[in-house]
Structure 1
Amino acid sequence: MQFFKQIKSILAVSLVLLFMAAPAIAGQPKYVFYFIGDGLGAAQRQFSEFFLQDQLKNPNSQLVMDTFEVAGINTTYCADTLITDSAAAATALASGVKTNKGVIGKDVNGNNVKTLVEEARDHGMKTGLITTTRLTHATPAAFASHNISRNNENEIADDFLNSGVDFFAGGGIRHFIPASMKIENADALGKTIKSKRKDEKDLVKGFEGKGYSTFIGMKGAKAFKSTDFSKQDKVFAAFTYTHMPYEVERMNQYKNVPSIADMTRAGIDVLAQGDKGFFLMIEGGRIDHAAHANDPSGVIWDTIAFDDAIKTAYEFFQNHKDQTLIVVVGDHETGGMGLGMDSMGYKLNMAALNDVHVSVEDTLNDGAGQYKGDKAAYLSYLSKNFGLSNLSDAEAASLNKAMVSADAGETLGYYKLNPAALTAAHILSTRANINWTTTIHTATMIPMSATGAYAGRFGGYKDNTQIAKAMAQTLGFTL
């Protein structure tokens, strides 16, 4: 009898050890790509695909994200308002928790919540954050920081230094350098690098002290393009003073600046060296900014660039099919983008966007193409750079009224846009037969798509919190 008791005891211990050694889920993904299109609603995805088809003269062309076998739709509301902001939405996508507008990585009571990136790190996986916005902007911040306000970007930068994340790439060097630092014409767009900090902390040196290879400004952007990242252990890259350029301008004016696909490829090369796999979050952040400015071409080109990054991940997936999961979501819809209006009936005119070379926000609203009182010069600029030649009488009258309004110091929309810039965006949109209901976010549900190991868990009608929870369940994490 004692013999059988000993056998049962040995078997029990063996089973416990077996379960401890085994992965939490048989066949769970080793490599995870979490793509977040900021402001990427159904209209933005569809319109960009239509434009791609028109450019390629192939009605069967698709965005890579629209070819995945699993699809769904997600609600986006946050704890204190039905129309979310990116901070609350990203916290939901990163931690599975509803929180208040503007809050990063905390619940409604101010308690820190565990994120997928933190769980991945604690499970021995390599981790990375990539964005076309400032690195300290709401979406990447919610994966590796905890703060009562998304606006506390210096504190968020401090959190990043201590986060253990292995790969960072994006913009926003201003929150990582000492208050006294100022270098003329040094960022990747040729703009001045200066600090937004109130102290003399040099977080770039801090990252270097922890073994990170750093790629800063124009010099860093050029080096980034020629670096073999399979030989890099940890990377911190911040190329621009604030956000990365819109894709429509990156591809026309700033070709030395890495694309979101370039950053994704580098991230894969660094993180794939880990024995336990990786978790990589990639944000197409400027889709949202373009939609805030009601900029149809800005939306299209940044969505296509985002899809090129997804294509890069999909190429990796092809060689690791049983071990890779790719999930593509949005955090909310921006602009209330509608495809079709009475002015042109039942059609869209994609050709109206062919001659657009600049963005509404960075150039017409704030940059070299801003209206500054010379009406003839502004109209000439729009004709050469924004596709608005051969103005109709109604279009000319609308622009003239907007320029008069700008001369009077008036602004339009929630974010106080230059009337001349926003009116130009609306004329271009009308020519393409699209409409905008707002310059802010909407509560519209947004599409999701996924492929790879356990992709089926992400399909169907879900709240954004359920996406994070499904990810945690799939990876054996506890949020």
Structure 2
Amino acid sequence: MFYIADLSDGECIRSDGLNLTQTWIENHKDFKSAFVTNNEGLEKVSDDVDYLLGLFYHDHLPYDLLRDKDPKGTPSLSQMTQKGLNILKRNENGFVLLVEGGRIDHGHHKNYARLALEESSEFDKTVSLIIEECGPDTLIIVTADHSHVMTLNGYGRRGNDILGYGIETEDDKPALTLTYANGPGFRYHYRSNESSILGPWIDVRNDTNRLNNPKYRQLATFELDDETHGGEDVGIFATGPGSHLIRGVIEQNYVAHLVSYAACIGPRANMNSHCNHIRSSGSKQVVLELDPRDARVAGSIPTQGEIKKKGYILSRDSEVTLSHWSRSIELVIMPLIVL
């Protein structure tokens, strides 16, 4: 199987004629492997395969709002993630999975706010899926590599559609709630030969294209073929073991070191005593659940020595969690190592 979109104009053809897909298939023919190209193929793949390659489009994947959801169509980000988790979770030693909602970026570059928001919604759905599937004993990090120059304009009426217009009074021109500092949306909205109270800009109140076209471009105030990235800091969010190490403002490259430390792989694994214990004893990681409400009833907090008597020893990461245990009102999950 080799996915080709259109041979007539040379799409997906390398100048050296090498078929990388066929090469991958040949290299994995002696293993439990699968190569899939559509929804139907992904759904039929058994979760016990050791290698899976999915090429679902000859270019960037379609936007989620516009993709073909039929059996021969393209899977969503959450569907691909679910299949990946089903396969990777079989490994008792854990796994590292990278999931990117890359079309959010593409939507913003074209000032397609609606498509960018729909992609963000699908990404949010995917994060929720990962949290539900992996549970609290898995480190999950969500971040971005940059921002965009989209602006959320204020003073919209209560209940205002986020894709609608916000400012509208007798003296003010109607303005879209979402606009961009630059991008291709400038040319669509600007009317150089129009002279009215609105000036050279189209009246968004009467723009039916805004309501019916998913590729409607929001207003941009400076014309560019592609909108630029923004320069401000982006957010980073984490849950699970090691998530306490993400606090305040951090450098971007710190994230890679954190993953190395928490997953016991790469150059920072030797800094984690938990990793050293696994390498020396071959022990498996388990999870102990402690409810602080039980501690208040009992009138005491279990000490590290008491936990050791039960056959467990706290890793270094867990000591931070334990020190805040009595002040927590939620279930505390601490990674432990079997002796």
Aligned in 2, Cα 1:455/1:208: closer, same or farther, shift over 3 Å? same
Aligned to 2:229: 441
The equivalent residue for 1:337 is 150
Structure that is richer in helix per residue: 1
- What are the equivalent positions in structure 2 for 1:80-479 lying under 5 Å apart? 183=6, 194-211=11-28, 212-216=33-37, 220-224=38-42, 226-250=43-67, 256-318=73-135, 321-322=136-137, 324-334=138-148, 336-340=149-153, 344=155, 349-350=160-161, 352=163, 398=201, 424-427=216-219, 439-479=227-267
Report how far residue 345 of structure 1 moved.
5.5
Q: Deviations over 1:237-296 (max 9, x none)?
A: 011010011122127899932100000000011112223211100001011111111222
Q: Distance in 2 between matches of 1:300 and 1:197?
A: 34
Question: Which protein has the larger Cα radius of gyration, Structure 1 or Structure 2?
Answer: 2
Q: Distance in 2 between matches of 1:239 and 1:351?
A: 32
Letter in 1 for 2:139: L
**CA displacement at 1:182 relative to structure 2:** 6.1
- 1:196 to 1:460, Cα distance in 2 relative to 1, 3 A: farther
Unaligned segments of structure 2, at least 5 residues: 165-183, 189-195, 204-212, 268-339
Change (3 A) 1:213 1:228: closer
- Closer/same/farther in 2, CA of residues 285 and 397 from structure 1, 3 Å limit: same
RMSD, matched Cα = 4.0
Amino acid at match of 2:134: F
Inter-partner Cα distance in structure 2 for 1:231 and 1:241: 27
Structure 1 residue 317, shift from structure 2 partner: 2.1
TM-score, scaled relative to structure 1: 0.41
Q: Contact 2:110–2:217 at 8 Å: present in 1 too?
A: yes
Q: Percent identity?
A: 23
Change (3 A) 1:195 1:398: same
Residues 300/209 of structure 1: CA separation in 2 closer, same or farther (3 Å cut)? same
CA contact (8 A) 2:40 2:71 kept: no
CA distance in 2, matches of 1:330, 1:209: 36
Task: Please give the secondary structure, in 1, of the residue aligned with 2:98.
Answer: strand
Segments of 4+ moved more than 6 angstroms? 251-255, 393-397
**Structure 1: distance between partners of 2:198 and 2:60:** 32
Q: Which runs of 5+ in 1 are unaligned?
A: 1-172, 186-191, 354-364, 366-370, 372-377, 379-392, 401-420, 431-435
Aligned-pair CA distance for 1:297: 0.7
For 2:234 and 2:96, locate their aligned partners in 1 and report how far apart those are by CA, in whole Å: 23
Q: Which amino acid aligns with 1:204?
A: T
For 1:221, give the aligned amino acid: N
Deviation for aligned residue 1:477: 3.0
CA contact (8 A) 1:248 1:298 kept: yes
Q: Given the superposition, is the C-alpha separation of residues 445 and 237 from structure 1 closer, same or farther in structure 2, using an over 3 Å criterion?
A: same
Q: Confirm or deny: 8 A CA contact 1:340 1:347 kept in the other structure.
A: no
Give the partner amino acid of 1:326.
Answer: I
Q: TM-score, normalised by structure 2?
A: 0.56
Secondary structure class of the residue paired with 1:314:
helix
**Higher RCO (CA < 8 A, seq sep 6+):** 1
Distance 1:289 1:254, change over 3 A: farther
- 1:222–1:257 Cα contact (<8 Å) kept: no
Shift of 1:304: 0.6
